[in-house]
Amino acid sequence: MADETAVPAAAPHASKSEAVALLFGVAGWLVPGLGHALQKMWGRAVACLLTIGLLVFVGAKMRGNLFSSSGNDAFDSLGYIADLGTGSFYLVAKSLEKDGADVSHADGDYGTRFLATAGVLNLLAALHAYEAARGRKA
Amino acid sequence: MIAEFGLRLSHLQAMLLFAIVISIAFGFLGRRRPADRVKYILWSLFLFLLVGVGIGWAMYPFSR
């Protein structure tokens, strides 16, 4: 009798497509929209690039808080993870915020939310690109 | 609107901008056909604004 708990060896084709899907996901994280662009999903690619780019630009111009790795508490660390979600746009936001963050007024506080939302939205888009490359209906 | 201290938006402008941008992203990621996307974007935008304004009014009695 065959061992029902045995896991069949994965086909080389499946592992290759999984690696490609992962590559698309990482590309989508690094540059918003790139994961979709590589799959020729142009509408989604442009939408991701523009919406995430706009959120980062507005958030940085409103002098939102861009968290760094040297956070003091769990909220700072979570904020840093969210901000890192924008991939390369984290550096763009940093370069736009020449004078640093200013959360002493409402604009800066809104800017912080805009930056964090851009990161989380980009992570969602990268996950979507990964799932689409794996063949999930998207 | 853009001064030396940066971009200044009112509460309503910030909420509108946030709702529009997120609705567009959700519409493009969540739906495939253009007509479905437009419907989803409009519905999502409506709900964002409804919840935003609703929470604003719910907080009004405690604002002073």
pLDDT tens digits along A59-103:
999 999 999 888 788 989 999 999 999 999 999 999 998 888 888
pLDDT of residue A82: 95
- Between B7 and A15, the more confident residue is B7
**Least confident segment among A55-64, A104-113, A121-130:** A104-113
Residues of B in contact with A114 (CB under 8 A): 18
Nearest chain A residue to B22 by CA distance is A51
Task: Name beta bridge partners: B2.
Answer: B7
Closest CA to A33 of A129, A135, A132: A129
State yes or no: pLDDT of A44 exceeds 60: yes
pLDDT of residue B26: 96
> Does residue A84 fall inside a structural domain?
yes
pLDDT tens digits along A103-112:
888 888 999 9
Cβ distance A48 to B29 less than 8 Å, yes or no, reads yes
Question: Of B6, B21, B28, which is closest to A62 when you measure between CB atoms?
Answer: B6
pLDDT band (50, 70, 90) for residue A12: low
- Between A45 and B4, the more confident residue is A45
Half-sphere exposure of B64 (CA within 13 A, CB side): 2
Determine how many CB atoms are found less than 10 A away from the CB of residue A73.
8
Provide CB contacts within 8 A for A135, sequence distance 6+.
Answer: A17
Range of the domain at A94: 17-133
Residues of B in contact with A44 (CB under 8 A): 28-29
> Does residue A7 fall inside a structural domain?
no
Residues of chain A whose C-beta is under 8 A from some C-beta in B? 43-44, 47-48, 51-52, 54-55, 58, 61-63, 99, 102, 106-107, 110-111, 113-114, 117, 121, 124-125, 128, 138
* Total tally of structural domains belonging to chain A: 1
> Does residue A2 fall inside a structural domain?
no
